[in-house]
Chains A and B, each alone.
Chain A
Amino acid sequence: MEILIYGTINSISLALYALGFAMVYGVSRLPNFAHGALFVLSGFGTWAFLNLLGLNYFFSIVLAIVAAGVIGSLIYRFILIRVRGMEISEIIASYAMGLAILEGLRWGGFKGMTYTLPAFVEGSMTLLGVSVDYQRLLVVVIGAAVVGLLWLFTRYTRIGLALKGMAQDERAAMMLGIDSDAMALVAMAFGSSLAALAAICLLPLGNIVVEAGYRVLILAIAVCIVGGLGSWVGAVLAAFLIGFTQILTVVYLGPHYQMVVALLAIILTLIIRPSGLFGRQKELEERV
């Protein structure tokens, strides 16, 4: 029972980590390696709004999400747009941006165990014989809500449909009058806001540390690769797969192996089936 409940929670958190990355990659084929940095940045941002500016918690959360979206779109508009289409430059440029943000935060004194965000709701309850705190339950609720809203958004709104069109076939979308660069900008803004949302939901469970940036990036990549790069449904399913495997290894092998599982999942998936478990087959594009 414990495995089931904590596995679900872990899976939803993984999905939250990964959705922003999957969204940006799916729409603009841009591996956003600054994803982890945006995650940590918005965590510290919320903390700063809350404690340095003394704003109300709800207001600082909204502000952090908006700020992350703005920063993400600025990164796209001024840096990534110039290297779009050159895969390697995309990776290097976005990774370097992420590195600059993370190490800049570390230099700015945001290190150590002293930064925490308060939980939305304190306390815990017993669910089917397992004690779970409300924050974790809230993560599940918010995660499910985000997935659901995203599903509705990509089906029933103009922008959502445009994004979906870009994801399916960029050239055809351009012929139908969808501005590819503008949509990529929107996707980047949404992706960054999703990273911020994930940060705000998940960071109250622990401390805000710079290292989390690298961990989140790896987990997001793991989920997206296993699910198939660019496939959102795949990402959610893969999050459950990896989430439960991680919990099982923690229970039966030890916590050290948690990260090993994620990395092994990436390597094995790429070797055996690079388009992921649920990705569309593009044999020729990805392997010889």
Chain B
Amino acid sequence: MDAGERRKERIDRGIKVRSDSLYALMSWRELAYLSVPRLVFIVGMLLLPLILPDMYWQRVVSIVCIYALLALSFDFLAHFAGLVSLGGAFFVGTGGYLAAVLNTSFGLPPLVTIPLATLFGAAICTLLLLPCLPLKGVYFAIVSLMYPLFSMRLIEALDILGGTDGIIGIDSFPNPWIEQYTVIGVMLFFLFAARRLVNMDIGLVFRGIKDNDQAIRASGMNITHYKAMAVFIASAMGAMGGACLVHIYMWSGISQFALDFSILPIAATVIGGGGTLVGPVLGCLILVPISELLRDFGTLRIVFYSLILVGFIVFRSEGIMVYGQRKYHQFERWTRI
């Protein structure tokens, strides 16, 4: 029997089919099948700060969570609302500067500035992006890439908000534990909220806009309205990340608008698997520690993760998470044709 007459077929595991429906509640095995991966992830994230030995790596966990928020925001916008935003840094910068100003000028504590910066940052980003929302594809990608660059140059040219020096003297979190559990909690909340959201009716509309906007329009819905909502949600995640970031580093500067905040989340999404929402978080869990380990090599790490990104996008565009899900839910076997 030569290989030409056989092919691999993929079939859902029996347990997956059973646990798709109400039968899942009938046995511990099916319940475990559904909940163990999620619980392992959540408990793992929550235990991470306790396991890690020193301050340095605990700080890395916070950074991972912030990048995870950004990656989540990119994934949500790109794969569920069809708006590919290359300017995640714009959300970070807006949120970060807002939190910095609220903290230094009005003396509000971090736990107040972060929610405020999230809400108002998201509102500001949505308003500023509103005129670009009718754009599609490469046009939206380019215009969103320009927003953070523009803000950077504007702050530099007008010398506002501390100019090139940035705003210093921002309060840090009361203690490291609060810092870590705030960012981890926020990240987990946004992750599961986004997963829930995309399965609700409005998620269906978002996906409809991505796949066929004319059809959504023909059903009498205002596309721009829904796109603005998607941008609001995504920029809330980004602004939250930015606000946490300035309180962690106790400094806010134009590097908040830098391309790192746009590129690393995209790389994480590509590696982790776009459209799964968990994938980007996993991607960050892999990429950010690697980039910390490679810190000694200076800019070589950017080369390194650019090349990983190219490799993944060209050869393995599905990403780790999609691959993992397939292995978990399905088995493969050879069949004769």
Contact = CB atoms under 8 A, between A and B. Distances in A.
Interface of A: 31, 79, 82-83, 87-89, 91-93, 95-97, 99-100, 103-104, 106-107, 218, 221, 225, 229, 254, 256-257, 259-260, 263-264, 266-267, 270-271, 274, 285-288
A225 B142 contact: yes
B302 A99 contact: yes
Interface of B: 78, 84, 86, 131-132, 134-139, 141-143, 146-147, 149-150, 153-154, 156-157, 213-214, 217, 223-224, 263, 266-267, 270, 297-300, 302-303, 306-307, 309-310, 313-314, 317
A245 to B, nearest CB: 15
A87 B132 contact: no
A79 B270 CA distance: 16
Contacts of A107: 297-300, 303
A230 B112 CA distance: 49
A83 B314 CA distance: 7
Contact of B84 (A88, A225, A263): A88
Contacts, number: 123
A267 B137 contact: no
A103 B306 contact: yes
B139 A270 contact: yes
A288 B314 CA distance: 29
Nearest to A90: B138
A99 B306 contact: yes
Contacts of B142: 31, 221, 225, 266, 270
Name A's interface SS: helix
B86 A274 contact: no
A257 B157 CA distance: 6
A31 B314 contact: no
A231 to B, nearest CB: 15
A263 B141 contact: no
Nearest to A104: B303
Contact of A274 (B135, B266, B302, B310): B135
A164 to B, nearest CB: 21
Name B's interface SS: helix
A264 B306 CA distance: 28
B227 to A, nearest CB: 9
21 contacts: A31-B138, A31-B142, A87-B137, A87-B141, A88-B78, A89-B313, A91-B141, A92-B313, A93-B313, A96-B309, A96-B313, A99-B303, A100-B306, A103-B303, A107-B300, A259-B149, A263-B153, A270-B139, A271-B131, A286-B135, A288-B214
B131 A288 contact: no
Contact of A92 (B132, B154, B303, B309): B309
A89 to B, nearest CB: 5
Contact of B317 (A89, A263, A274, A288): A89
A96 B314 contact: no
Contacts of A31: 138, 142
B299 A256 contact: no
B270 A92 contact: yes
B3 to A, nearest CB: 25
A97 B310 contact: yes
Nearest to A260: B153
Contact of B153 (A91, A103, A225, A259): A259
B311 to A, nearest CB: 9
B146 A267 contact: yes
Given A89-B313, A89-B317, A266 B143 contact: yes
Given A93-B310, A263-B149, 6 more contacts: A93-B309, A100-B307, A103-B299, A218-B146, A221-B146, A271-B135
B299 A100 contact: no
Given A286-B135, A287-B134, A260 B157 contact: yes
B313 A267 contact: no
A287 B266 contact: no
A256 B158 CA distance: 8
Instruction: Tell which of A82, A91, A221, A264 has the most Cβ of chain B within 10 Å.
Output: A91
A274 B135 CA distance: 8
A103 B301 CA distance: 9
Contacts of A91: 84, 86, 138, 141
Which 6 pairs across A and B sit closest by C-beta, in order of nearness?
Answer: A256-B157, A100-B306, A103-B302, A263-B150, A96-B306, A103-B299
A271 B149 CA distance: 17
Nearest to B227: A288
